[in-house]
Every structure is written in C-alpha cells, then in structure tokens.
A and B are shown apart, each in its own frame.
Chain A
Amino acid sequence: MLSYIARRLVIAIPTLILVSIFVFVLQKLLPGDPALVLAGEERDPAVLEFIREKYRLNDPILYQYFSWMKAMLQGDLGISLRTNLPVTELIADKLPVTIQLAVMAMIIAFAIGIPAGILSAVRKGTAIDYIANFVALSGLSIPNFWLGIMLIMLVSVHLGWLPASGYESPFVDPLKSLQTMIMPAFVLGTALAATLMRHTRSAMLGVLKADYVRTARAKGLLENVVILKHAFRNALLPIVTLSALLFGELLAGAVLTEQIFTIPGFGKLIVDAVFTRDYAVVQGVVMCTAAGFILMNLIADVLYFLLNPRMRSSL
C-alpha cells in the first residue's frame, strides 16, 4: 500500500516538471511586457531598465527558469508584480476560499447526483428516469454564469434572502459564510450533479445486471439492501474516480462563478493576474493548481485501491 502511494508520488514528479516548463514557456510567449505594465504611463527608459533588472527579466530564459524552480523548491513562489506581496501569501489567502467553495459544491453535487443516478437506474424506463435525465441534461446545458445571474436576480434582488456577492470566512462568521457561499456552491454543484448523475446511472445499470445482484435477491435481502449494499458498492469505483477529478477541477477555481459572485478565490486571482501580466502569480497559481490536481488523482488511485479487494490483494 505505502509502496504503491510512493510509486504514484514518484510518477507525479515528472508531471509537475512538465507543467512547470509549459507554464514558464507559455508565459514568455504571451504578448505584452510586464515591465511596461509596471512602469505605468510615463515609461521612462531608466525606470523600465530598473524594473527589468530588479525582476531579472534580462537574464537568459533558462537561467530565469532554473532560478524560479530553485526558489519554488524552497517554498518561494516570488513576489507579485502588481501587489508587491509574496505569491505564497496571496495563494494562502485565496486557497481556503476556493476549498470551501469546492467542498460545498461537491456536497451539493453528491446530495443530488448520486441519489438521482441510483433512482433513475433502478427505475429505468419509467417517468422518474426520464425526468431525472431531462433535469440532468438541462443541468449540463445551462451555463453556470446564466444560472448564477438568474439566482442573484431571483434570490438576492427580488426575494432579498441572500447576499448577492461577497465573502466571509467560516471561522469568523459561519452563518454569514454559508449565506454568501450557498448560491455559488449551488451553481457549481448542480452542474457537477448532472455529470455525477449520468455516471452513477450508467455504473448502476451495469452493476444491477450482475449475477451477484441476483444472488443478493435470492438470499431474500430487501430491495434497498440489494441496491445500496450489493449493487451501489460495486458501482462506486468509477464514481470515486470521477469525483476526485471533478474536485480537482473545482480546486483550479471556478473563474466565471467566482467572478459573478465576486468571490475572492483562485479563479478570480488568476484572471486578475493574467490581465495585469502578473507573471509570478500566474505561474504560482497554475503550479499550485496542477499540484492539487495531481494530488486528487493520487487520492482517486488510493481510494480505488482501497475499494477494490482484487487490487488490494494484488500487492
């Protein structure tokens, strides 16, 4: 088990290096010069030169890459050109927001998607199945930003039940935090619920035909035990993998949703950084996101491993 995790971690290293090269090169290929942005309206050549020297923008590109990598390994992601704050600090600031949003969205997605998927598989071909599929398809088709705007208009503007935007840490004011986050989490969660529902349904349909489900019925087990204990347990594998990947995507930040609800998360951070050519921030956030995604993949693998007795005993 541990050796399995270790092996997966080792495999993750080249992936991360590859990501870092891509991030670095792509940034250099982007049109626009950060020094110009920083120098402001005047663009005094001396100032420009000073900025280029200060941020090592004149160094050879390979040198720039390796010094960036070296600093990163020491936990230093550089200084934001725009805010003059360390990138690690910015990330540490935004990450909890994004994690909170992702966790809430996942909970909503699970609460809707999995029961709906099981139900529509068990009641395949009935009205329940068709309705669930229709709703899921709608959930997939409706753009997040549209649903977000509609929710703000209805719930915040017309009904005045929830604040339209803003953010509060759950450690400062849990209730207010929940109030500000519930709508964006719902917007993200419903879209994921649709994906989860479709996958749960197809996994369950496959498993419900299995001989061991018939055995479970032949044992006289009640239908809900047959479905939840014997069928769903075996449908879990693809669902777990999918969920981990979806969560990884959520961690990358929901750009549009965060923008609409003005949530100070990862998505907003990276958009702002790209627009202001804040190299260090973009690089830091992308590296962080990639690492998060790789971590979620690893967690998916480990869960897969734990859930599958056949794999467990193969090591």
Chain B
Amino acid sequence: MPTEAPDNAPQNAPVLEVQDLSLRFKGAPANIVDGLSFAVRPGETLCIVGESGCGKSVTALSLMGLLPRGVARVMSGTAIFGGQDLLALPQRALADLRGDRISMIFQEPMTSLNPSYRIGDQIAEIVLRHRPVTRTQARARAQEMLERVKIPAASNRLDDYPHELSGGMRQRVMIAMALANDPVLLIADEPTTALDVTIQAQIIDLIEDLQKESGTALIMITHDLGVVAEIADRVCVMYAGRAVEEGPVAAIFDDPQHPYTIGLMSSVPSVGPRSGRLATIGGMVPAIDNMPDGCRFAPRCPFAGPRCDIAPPLAELGPSHRAACHYAPLESAFAEAAG
C-alpha cells in the first residue's frame, strides 16, 4: 500500500486545495458542511470517509458546481483548482472545466446514464464538448475508453442503450465517460455502493488501475473502510460536516487519534476468532437543527468533558496527520489522566 506522504515533495503542489468550506441547506439552522479543508495532490488518492448524511456528497457536488439550485448553497470557503477558485467561478467557466479537467462518477450507475441515448454517443458527447474533434474521432475515443474500462466486445457495445447493460457495466461506462478527456481530478462519490460485492471489487480495482495509468488525482467518497484500505493514500474522516481527522492511510488505520475514527475502525468486522460483539458507536449523528455548538461528536463520545463545549481545531499530530480533538494525541490525554 503506498503510504509515503507525497506532500513532503515541494514540486507536488495540490491539484485541489479546499479551505474552510461551509455549505448550508436552505432554511437549515446550521451548516451541513462546516469549515472543511483538504487537499489532493497529483496522482494521489484522497478518501473522504464518514457516515451517510455527514456531508460527503454535498461537498463533492459543491466542488462541481452541481448543488441543486435553491436547495443548498456555499456559505464560505475556497476551492483552488489550477489557480482558480471553483466556488467563485461563473457557471459557464465551471461548465468548461467539468467533464474536462474535473470529472465525477456517481453512486447510482442504474440511473446516471440517459436511457434515451446510445452509450457510445453519450461518451462521444463529452469529448465533442471539450475537444476540437470530429464525430468520427469522438466515437473512436469512445470505443477506446470502453476498451480501457474493460468492457468486452467494446465496438459492439457502442450502440447499446443503457438498459442493455448491467449495473457494473453501466458504472464502467460512467468511468469511461469521466476519464474520456484525461481529467486532472476525478471525484468518485460512492461508486460501488449500489453494486454487488463481487462487482464492487472489480470496479475499485479498475478505478485504481486507471488512476495509476493516467496519474489523475482521485477523491474517493466512501463509507466502506475496505475500499479505503485498498486504494487510499490519504484519508479525511468527516463527522457531521466537519473533518475530524486527516492523515496518511497507515496513520488513520494504525494510529487513529479521534474518538470517532477509533470507533469507526473498531466497527469493522475482522476475520478470525470473534471476541465479543462487534463494536458500535452509541447514539446517532445529531440532526441539523440540533447541532452541538462545540465538538459535534461530543454527545456520542466516551471521552467527552467540559472542554468539548468548545469546538476543537484540527491540530497537527505528526507528519500531515491531524485530528480535531482536545484529547489528541491520546498518549498525552492518558498521561494527563494518570497524572
């Protein structure tokens, strides 16, 4: 597993640097995403992990400028991509980037392709939109992409309609489409959640292979820690709209510092003799109209104390490993308790 921290190399300027992103649903009393910051470097895979409803998907949509109009809006923050702030770009300029420099694949392969058009045309369309090519060239590119995502008999599949393909095949088509213009950044929003387990592994392997091949930076949004362990370079753990811990994948798995991350890790079943019940994190994510003022995890946190009424900042714990907890690093907390 590649765990070397690539941010030590100075030439590796981030592809995307998100600073202090806050999003809010219309009429909601609190931000659904609150002061979120993260960065992705070229060729790197950043996994954003968290329970459903913690703001992962809206974050991705906001970066793409795809937040549903009048439903959610950006309250603050910047997302610097290629020297431009994605959150401040006019729609037209953003549309020029979408599908070209930044691409996205979605959770629902069954419904994400247009049922009325042939898949070859749907892939060719994204090429024609962003590249000065002829229809024939775009179609050739579509076929090439279908081959790259390992769809058997690609040339015969170009004229298929989406309903003629299985879910896994459709997700391959979505990936082919997303990568058709060699984007610098690919955002994958739970791309395997809706698929069968065997297909999930194939799709994850495919994404990993294609990313290695093309050097695309990848933001993988998932709640599946197995996926994280397989492909992440860095992990950003989100809880109730905030980043609670961020660091290299090895640090997150071997030395989690935030109580939520610790809970998340221990709720994964492992192979081998079972020692008691699978750990769960008690309680539920606070509702948006009932967000604690301080640490948002405090109501469920076994370590919570009076200090937690004040929101903890993301504090540097080690090389590019940060956690938002007053008690981190835990060693010092234990020392404190002992002393």
Q: Is the CB of B70 within 8 A of A125?
A: yes
Chain B CB within 10 Å, residue with most, of A219, A230, A307, A310:
A219
Interface string of B76-110 (1 = CB under 8 A from A): 00000000000000011001111110011010100
**Minimum-distance CB pairs A-B, first 5:** A220-B99, A220-B98, A219-B99, A211-B111, A212-B114
What's the least CB distance linking B124 to chain A, in Å?
Answer: 11
Q: Is the CB of B100 within 8 A of A234?
A: no
B interface residues (Cβ-Cβ under 8 A, vs A):
64, 66, 70, 91-92, 95-100, 103-104, 106, 108, 111-117, 125-126, 129-130, 161, 163-164, 174, 177
Q: Does A92 contact B (CB under 8 A)?
A: no
Q: Is the CB of B106 within 8 A of A309?
A: no
Q: Does A313 contact B (CB under 8 A)?
A: yes
Distance between Cα atoms of A142 and B147 in the complex (Å): 59
Q: Is the CB of B163 within 8 A of A309?
A: yes
A125 proximity list for chain B (CB < 8 A): 70
Q: Is the CB of B113 within 8 A of A220?
A: no
Q: Is the CB of A211 within 8 A of B163?
A: no
Q: Is the CB of B98 within 8 A of A211?
A: no
What's the least CB distance linking A14 to chain B, in Å?
Answer: 33
Q: Does A210 contact B (CB under 8 A)?
A: yes
Q: Does A103 contact B (CB under 8 A)?
A: no
Q: Is the CB of B126 within 8 A of A219?
A: yes
Q: Which residue of chain B is the closest to A122 with respect to CB atoms?
A: B69
What's the least CB distance linking A221 to chain B, in Å?
Answer: 6
Q: Is the CB of A218 within 8 A of B129?
A: no
Q: Is the CB of A215 within 8 A of B98?
A: no
Q: Specify which of A211, A218, A308, A309 is in contact with B108 (CB 8 Å cutoff).
A: A211
Q: Specify which of B95, B96, B106, B130 is in contact with A215 (CB 8 Å cutoff).
A: B106
Identify 14 residue pairs between A and B in the complex whose beta-carbon atoms are under 8 Å apart, listed by A's number. A125-B70, A211-B106, A211-B108, A212-B112, A212-B114, A215-B113, A215-B114, A215-B174, A218-B66, A218-B103, A221-B95, A221-B129, A309-B161, A310-B115
Distance between Cα atoms of A84 and B174 in the complex (Å): 70
Q: Does A233 contact B (CB under 8 A)?
A: yes
B95 proximity list for chain A (CB < 8 A): 217, 220-223
A212 proximity list for chain B (CB < 8 A): 111-115
Contact flag A233-B116 (CB < 8 Å), given A220-B130, A221-B95: yes
Contact flag A211-B116 (CB < 8 Å), given A220-B95, A309-B161: no
B111 proximity list for chain A (CB < 8 A): 210-212
B177 proximity list for chain A (CB < 8 A): 215, 219
Q: Does A178 contact B (CB under 8 A)?
A: no
Q: Is the CB of A220 within 8 A of B163?
A: no
Contact flag A234-B98 (CB < 8 Å), given A217-B66, A221-B125, A313-B161: no
What's the least CB distance linking A241 to chain B, in Å?
Answer: 16
What's the least CB distance linking B198 to chain A, in Å?
Answer: 23
Q: Is the CB of A234 within 8 A of B115?
A: yes
B91 proximity list for chain A (CB < 8 A): 223
Q: Is the CB of A219 within 8 A of B129?
A: yes
Interface string of A196-235 (1 = CB under 8 A from B): 0000000000000011101111111111000000100110
Number of A interface residues at 8 Å Cβ cutoff, please give it: 22
Distance between Cα atoms of A222 and B113 in the complex (Å): 17
Q: Is the CB of B97 within 8 A of A220?
A: yes
Distance between Cα atoms of A218 and B108 in the complex (Å): 14
Q: Is the CB of A214 within 8 A of B115?
A: no
B164 proximity list for chain A (CB < 8 A): 313
Question: Could you tell me which residues of chain A, from 146 to 172, have a CB within 8 Å of some CB in chain B?
Answer: none
Q: Is the CB of A218 within 8 A of B98?
A: yes
B126 proximity list for chain A (CB < 8 A): 219-220
Q: Specify which of B64, B96, B117, B130 is in contact with A218 (CB 8 Å cutoff).
A: B64
What's the least CB distance linking A147 to chain B, in Å?
Answer: 36
Q: A212-B115, A220-B129 are in contact. List 12 more A-B contacts (CB 8 A).
A: A211-B106, A215-B112, A216-B114, A217-B98, A219-B129, A220-B130, A221-B99, A222-B95, A223-B95, A233-B117, A234-B116, A309-B115
Distance between Cα atoms of A70 and B63 in the complex (Å): 72
Q: Which residue of chain B is the closest to A230 with respect to CB atoms?
A: B114
Q: Which residue of chain A is the closest to B70 with respect to CB atoms?
A: A125
Distance between Cα atoms of A222 and B91 in the complex (Å): 9
B174 proximity list for chain A (CB < 8 A): 215
Q: Which residue of chain A is the closest to B108 with respect to CB atoms?
A: A211
What's the least CB distance linking B218 to chain A, in Å?
Answer: 16
Distance between Cα atoms of A313 and B126 in the complex (Å): 26
Distance between Cα atoms of A308 and B91 in the complex (Å): 32
A221 proximity list for chain B (CB < 8 A): 95, 99, 125, 129
What's the least CB distance linking B169 to chain A, in Å?
Answer: 15
Distance between Cα atoms of A230 and B111 in the complex (Å): 13
What's the least CB distance linking B294 to chain A, in Å?
Answer: 35
What's the least CB distance linking A226 to chain B, in Å?
Answer: 9
Distance between Cα atoms of A217 and B97 in the complex (Å): 11
Q: Which residue of chain B is the closest to A309 with respect to CB atoms?
A: B161
B108 proximity list for chain A (CB < 8 A): 211
A230 proximity list for chain B (CB < 8 A): 114
